Chains A and B, each alone.
Chain A
Amino acid sequence: MIPSLLAMAGALWSGIDTERVDVGPGEWRPVYPPSPGEDVIPVKAFQLAVYPVTVGDYEAFVDANPEWKRGRVDGALAGDLYLSRWASPTRAGMSSPGVPVTEVSWFAARAYCRWTGGRLPTEAEWELAGAADETRTDASRDPAFVKRILDWYSRPNPAEWPAVGQGEANAWGLHDMHGMVWEWVDDFNASLVNVDNRDGKGKDELRFCGGGAAAAATDKADYAAFLRIALRSSLEGRSTVRSLGFRCAFDEEAP
């Protein structure tokens, strides 16, 4: 597809961050397996961006794709809070271009990643990548690691986030998977769909919210992962949340 190749070339010329690292292959064990056959999800090797997408990156995207300017986007694709803290429709006006972009919808995050030749990571990919601490690729069952994440979840949002990449990378070489902003995944609302879907709507959410899910969770130690699923399942594709950003995944070799 020539148009998308041109768009990707444009993205690479615009100076956005495209640094990425190899992640996986591996396995993701969902804390809440949606069906008996889904307790272990194999994850193929992929690349993931080292940092969340920043406001500087996103400014370049909006410049190249004016249909994604605040005020221009169709309400079906982004909620009212879309880039609402930006100083103008095209400039964030924040203390640093390295601040992670938030208040972007899933549709917008998808469009951004496609523009850079990538895609949003799947939930399994993100969770595999996010299970690592600074030294181990899987720290997800370590109570100290989980507590660190839960402590972050309980802190209020700052008025403005610090620039990305200031802490230590995790064992995959990824920065800010935890402790900065929540991140979109491509299949954000999929993990609670019942396999037997002839029962109709609502049952999956009921099962989850009614308390049964917490008890059904395979490993109560990873309550942080449970909360991430709760967050994602509460979203719509057009949702724009103050503390929700994203990073892109890639299938081809890192440049």
Chain B
Amino acid sequence: MILALLLSCAVPESKDGPAGAEEPVSGPVATGPSLYAIDVPLVTHGGEDIRLDQFRGSPVIVSMFYTECPMACPLLVEAAQGALAEAGNPAVPVLFVSLDPANDTVEAMKKSHDSRGVGEQFTFAAPPADRVREIAALLGIKYRPLPAGGFAHTSVLVLLDGEGRELARAEGNEGRGGLVAALRGG
């Protein structure tokens, strides 16, 4: 058993489900698990109560962040803006879900939202504290609170289709070409 587990380090984990090979394809096709498999309430930077599947029915860019994040999160916001600009500014909503609901109050999120000047295409929102890990797990985001405050976390933008399944992702500085192409295609 251990050998199998260690080997899995080296081999990318396979996604379930056969690829629907016969269907005519226009743009990317998502077959993976849906973020909307869980139902989670969120409070937005505007103080609005929404659900995790608020943008069901249309593509959405989703990421996770926290407002006190000094470096990676501002870069992530800029990366989302950059990807949208490169794709010709499609009206695809962007949802940033907080890793830190204890500190990311409506006021803190509003302040962060205002200071980034991202506009209403971007929604900052916080889930209940005990649901954060489930959202992160479905998005393939890993994170860990740090003893000195803040979090170590995966910096990633995930483009979901209308059913919450991943169409493309842009992680770290790996480049966002795939994400931009998918935004154009969608």
- A residues contacting B by CB (< 8 A) are 34-35, 37-38, 41-42, 74-77, 79-80, 106-107, 110, 114, 119, 153-154, 156-157, 186-187, 189-195, 197-201, 204-205, 208-209, 227, 230-231, 233-234, 236-238, 243
The distance from the CB of B97 to the nearest CB of chain A, in whole angstroms, is 16
Of B1, B10, B32, most A-chain CB atoms within 10 Å: B1
B9-A205 in contact (CB<8A)? yes
A190-B142 in contact (CB<8A)? yes
Beyond A80-B16, A193-B143, A198-B172, list 4 extra A-B contacts (CB 8 Å): A74-B34, A187-B144, A193-B154, A234-B6
Give complex CA distance A53, B75 in Å: 43
Give complex CA distance A80, B16 in Å: 9
Q: Can you list the 8 inter-chain pairs with the closest CB atoms, starting with the nearest?
A: A200-B172, A76-B33, A237-B137, A76-B37, A209-B9, A190-B144, A74-B37, A201-B171
Main secondary structure of the interface of B (DSSP, over half): mixed
Chain A residues near B133 (CB-CB < 8 A): 110, 186-187
Chain A residues near B5 (CB-CB < 8 A): 230-231, 234
B: contact size bracket = 35 or more
- B residues contacting A by CB (< 8 A) are 1-2, 5-6, 8-10, 13, 16-17, 32-35, 37-38, 71-72, 75, 130, 133-134, 137-138, 142-144, 146-148, 152-156, 171-174
Main secondary structure of the interface of A (DSSP, over half): loop
The distance from the CB of B56 to the nearest CB of chain A, in whole angstroms, is 14
Chain B residues near A230 (CB-CB < 8 A): 2, 5-6, 9
Known: A37-B148, A76-B138. A197 touches B172 (CB 8 A): yes
